[in-house]
Every structure is written in C-alpha cells, then in structure tokens.
Amino acid sequence: MKCAGVKPGESILDVCTGTGDIALQFAQSDGVGGIVGIDLSEEMLHIARRKTKSHGFGEKIKLLKGDVLNLPFDDDSFDIVSIGFGLRNLTDHKKGISEMVRILKNGGRVVILEFSPPRGVLFGAAYRLYLNLIIPAVGGIISGSASAYRHLSTSIANFIEPEEITELMEAGGLKKLYSKRLTGGIAYIHRGEK
C-alpha cells in the first residue's frame, strides 16, 4: 500500500486478485477512486465477493473474471496496477507485465509483491526445507490437498530472480524502478512508474 503511493481519486486494478485481500486493503485508503479486482478463478472471486461484502466494500470493489495476459480494459485506464503473489503463476511473465503497463495511465505505478528463492546458504537451506516439507504437509492436513501446496513450493523454488523481474519491468517501459527485499529475501516488492 505504501509503495503504491495512492493519491485521492486514483483508480486501482488488482490483477490475480484471488480472494481480494489486496483490493480490500486499497479500499480502506481514504479517497481511493474505483477499485477493480480481476482473476481467472471464479471460485476465488466467489470468496472475494463474500469478503468484500462482509467488510462493507461490496460497492467500492468491482470483481471480474479475466486473464492478466489479455486484460479487458482500454489503454491508459488505471493509476495503479497491483499483483500480489500472482506473477509466478502466469504462463508468460513478460506479456503479463506488458499488459499491466498498457492499461496504466502515464505517471501510474505497477506494484508487484512476489515470493523469491532466498539467498544465503544457511537461511536458504532452512527455507527450502520449510518450503518442500513443512508447507505441503501442514497445508495438506488443513486443506486436504497436499498437491496444491507442493505446487506452491515448486512454483516459488523455480521462479525467476528478483533482478529478472526488474529487467522485465524496464523492458515493459517502466521507469523509476524500485525493489525491496522482505523477510530475509523470501519475498520482494517491486515498483515501477509509466
């Protein structure tokens, strides 16, 4: 939220919105204009609709089914585009960023929050152990689907490096690039301006 630098009246698109957590955070900012969340999964959007309604933001947040690789919006439509933990699930990272930039107004910002394989021998080894053994086991017990959590672990471990995300953002036409390492490097936040 802070990294996006939301100004009163700005319009926001949250891609890969999932259950709507980031859209809900934006909705709590004073003076925010329209907020749209978009996701491919109707099941996730169903949960997001329940959550936005229960938090009193059912009118403020519009939730749509759609594909980040082919966004159903005109060029220069939004002031901010966010994606949280969804970039690694896209089949084409470059195309996804390109689409986010296309629908962004001049002066607008793209903000990406994403997992990263941590560096460092000791911390990296401990995190890989947690990622490969503990998350699938506990996630499987809670959800009944260990395979979904194995996919999560694999997608994080095999994802591109933070520097590659920055390069894709620059290639997509974004300037004033900024990256910040979070939680020992297990996640990064990236920001760029059109």
CA–CA gap between residue 154 and residue 131 (Å, rounded): 8
Does residue 57 share a domain with residue 125? no
Q: Is residue 52 domain-resident?
A: yes
pLDDT band at residue 125 under the 50/70/90 scheme: confident
Q: Is residue 105 domain-resident?
A: yes
Helices (H), the chain: 21-27, 42-54, 93-102, 121-129, 135-143, 146-157, 162-171
Does residue 127 share a domain with residue 47? no
120: which DSSP letter?
S
Q: Does the structure show a pLDDT above 80 at 12? A: yes
Q: Does the structure show a pLDDT above 90 at 124? A: no
Does residue 80 share a domain with residue 151? no
CA–CA gap between residue 193 and residue 39 (Å, rounded): 23
Higher per-residue confidence, 96 vs 151: 96
Does residue 90 share a domain with residue 151? no
Q: Does the structure show a pLDDT above 80 at 89? A: yes
Choose from 37-51, 131-145, 154-168 the range with maximum mean pLDDT. 37-51
* Number of domains present in the structure of the chain: 2
Q: Does the structure show a pLDDT above 90 at 158? A: no
Q: Is residue 134 domain-resident?
A: yes
Q: Is residue 7 domain-resident?
A: no
Confidence (pTM): 0.90
Does residue 137 share a domain with residue 112? no
pLDDT band at residue 186 under the 50/70/90 scheme: confident
Mean pLDDT of the chain: 91
What is the span of the domain harbouring residue 34?
12-116+160-193
Q: What is the CATH number of the domain that holds 178?
A: 3.40.50.150
